[in-house]
Structure 1
Amino acid sequence: MTTVHAYAATAPNGSLEPFEYQLGPIGPEDVDISVDSCGICHSDLSMLENAWGISAYPFVPGHEVSGRVSAVGEMVTHVQVGDRVGLGWHAGYCMTCDECLGGHHNMCSKAEQTIVGRHGGFADRVRARAASVFKLPAGIDAGEAGPLLCGGITVFNPMMQFGLPPTGRVGIIGIGGLGHLALQFARAWGCEVTAFTSSESKTQQALAMGAHDTLNSRDPNAIAGAARRFDLLLSTVNVPLDWSAYLATLKPRGRLHLLGVQVEPLELSQFPMLMGQLSVSSSPVGSPLAIRRMLEFAARHQIAPVTEHFRMEQVNDAMEHLRAGKARYRIVLDRH
């Protein structure tokens, strides 16, 4: 038996306190990761607060793990003890359903989420199935890798999934934890990139991170002036907007893709969608193949999150920093 030292909350929105639990014998397809660092995603905060009604307590957050392999099961072949690896939202897949066999593991109805019904990476060790553990390529800074395993793949997946051409025009709505990564990926993809933001300071930062242009997201005239401009809009916000106004900025056959999670129903006007053959869609993270390609792409183009670092024992300060909206742009907890 292996004792794991973690940080857990015992009630919704509770403080994260030292917590120990035991890992049983390692399974044949399992990988144990000695955690070096773990990013904090807004989903960790949502789960801590039980905002989605699926949290179980004691709750150990953390699904943007970077570390080294400490043990492997007898059937694991693609990583070995000592390898630098990462773990994201999923900790395992059934590997036999149509979605898994078709390469869409992120759509597996029996997929195991790293922090749903199991303990996550705010700990010194975490266990996952081999297919969800990824060797970090050379050129990826392990201390900055965690946010790529959730935020990075979330914004990369639609670019790959929908065959975005490098001549495309892309608008990024919201320049935060997801949006600042989307800017970098879309720019490296070859696209003309526009950032939608209402913050003057973020306007300058967006341009520095790859945007060719910016638009004030609170100025209806500015949005109206971008009519029929974009092939793809990636929304990274979790609040309702005037979606009809944003749909009007799409070219015919354009797509509005929602990545930020909002609980309110969408208000959309169908007629403009019909006339322009527009699409509205959404997606969760990405398949193992998409994650592997995302990491290779990030290494090749030197794409990295902008991070703020806290020590693991400062986890409550870090969560409050995120809750207050002060994160610029991703928070990482370091064990060492």
Structure 2
Amino acid sequence: MSNTTIRAYAAMQPGEALVPYQFDAGELLPHQVEVQVEYCGLCHSDLSVINNDWRSSVYPVVAGHEIIGTIVQLGSEAKGLSVGQRVGIGWTAESCQHCDPCLSGRQVQCTGDSVATIVGHAGGFADKVRAGWQWVIPLPDDLDAESAGPLLCGGITVFDPIIKHQIQAVHHVGVIGIGGLGHIAIKLLKAWGCEITAFSSNLEKTAELKAMGADHVVNSRDSAALKAQRGKFDLILSTVNVSLDWPVYLSALAPNGTLHMLGLTLEPLQVSAGALIGGGKAVTGSSTGSPSTLRQLLKFAARKQLAPQVEVFPMSQINEAIEHLHAGRARYRVVLKADF
């Protein structure tokens, strides 16, 4: 087997079980880094790409974009990294580095040749993976490698708006939906020092959510309880992909507050201009984050010893892990341990 051969698990067609798959990655390009995969998180976005839900998949699909591993090869143009160093790779594998967003530090909004790690590119359900060196993020030595992977997608997704909206410890933040994203948001906001309200449809989780760091838990299906939140929140993070009573959540914002969308709700949001104008409120959204914000997140997580709650499966049991996630049984992120 050539040293450019990568062993992986791939979806050959939408809806099919993943199968062992080998391919020749060719010579490493000058700006790229090759990483030996140790762990890789399993995310709902992986399922969407495997099943071509977004109509952008290129088969065979090698998914996996919450990757932790060690560098085994550096391209001649790679900077600031070394062979043997433990690193992470998230949703983005490449960006052009010359468009205006890239030059201004917003590489996640690259308008040039941006490449997602799992769309037309082989991801981390493999023994090795490649990415542009700027998207290969050093892992602090005191950050747990087994649970760190989900920080590179779910973690950065909820961390970026905390930075973007200049959230401080004096602020009250609501989190809608306490799953893979929401539980990391609560842990981050607790470490940040904020007052936190969790909006959940399952009040049986109340004790667990408070143990994670939530100060208050509100039933997201109880209209009276929602209306009682009027004017309280500086920021509300929505991680759900279903439509809710958005006007009620807008009324829950304090003056100059923001409802920030992270979940991909397919129906248009019903928002009146008056609801925004009266209190100087805003509705915003974002995807993941830039390499510099990813580095900030990992350093902060290491300092606070913050870790997502994970369940670990051998990568050879990837189809069982996918079924576990698809069935809604994950608490709260699934991580695959490479065992090739």
User: Partners in 1 of 2:53 and 2:284 — Cα distance?
Assistant: 22
Displacement of 1:59 after TM fit? Answer: 0.6
The answer to whether residue 30 in structure 2 is matched with residue 41 in structure 1 is: no
Displacement of 1:267 after TM fit? Answer: 1.7
The structure 1 residue matched to 2:33, chosen from 31, 34, 56, is: 31
Task: Give the aligned residue type for 2:49.
Answer: M
User: Partners in 2 of 1:300 and 1:178 — Cα distance?
Assistant: 20
1:221 aligns with: 224
3-state DSSP of counterpart to 1:266: coil
* CA distances 1:294-325 after superposition (whole Å, capped 9, x unpaired): 00111111111000111101111111111111
User: Partners in 2 of 1:58 and 1:261 — Cα distance?
Assistant: 25
Written as runs of structure 1 = structure 2, the 5 A alignment for 1:133-172 is 133-172=136-175
Written as runs of structure 1 = structure 2, the 5 A alignment for 1:201-240 is 201-240=204-243
User: Partners in 2 of 1:223 and 1:116 — Cα distance?
Assistant: 39
3-state DSSP of counterpart to 2:301: helix
1:328 aligns with: 331
Q: Structure 2 length as normaliser, TM-score?
A: 0.97
The structure 1 residue matched to 2:197, chosen from 194, 214, 224, is: 194
2:100 aligns with: 98
Displacement of 1:262 after TM fit? Answer: 2.1
3-state DSSP of counterpart to 2:307: coil
Written as runs of structure 1 = structure 2, the 5 A alignment for 1:86-125 is 86-109=88-111, 110-125=113-128
Displacement of 1:65 after TM fit? Answer: 0.3
8 Å contact kept, 1:158–1:283: yes
User: Partners in 1 of 2:308 and 2:205 — Cα distance?
Assistant: 15
1:9 aligns with: 11
Displacement of 1:201 after TM fit? Answer: 3.1
Task: Give the aligned residue type for 1:135.
Answer: P
**What is the number of residues matched between the two proteins?**
336
Q: Structure 1 length as normaliser, TM-score?
A: 0.98
Displacement of 1:119 after TM fit? Answer: 1.0
Displacement of 1:88 after TM fit? Answer: 0.1
1:58 aligns with: 60
3-state DSSP of counterpart to 1:99: helix
2:256 aligns with: 253
8 Å contact kept, 1:7–1:122: yes
Identical aligned pairs, as a percentage? Answer: 49
* CA distances 1:119-163 after superposition (whole Å, capped 9, x unpaired): 110000001110000110122111111100000000000011121
What is the root-mean-square deviation in Å for CA atoms of aligned residues?
Answer: 0.9
Give the gaps of 5 or more residues in structure 1: none
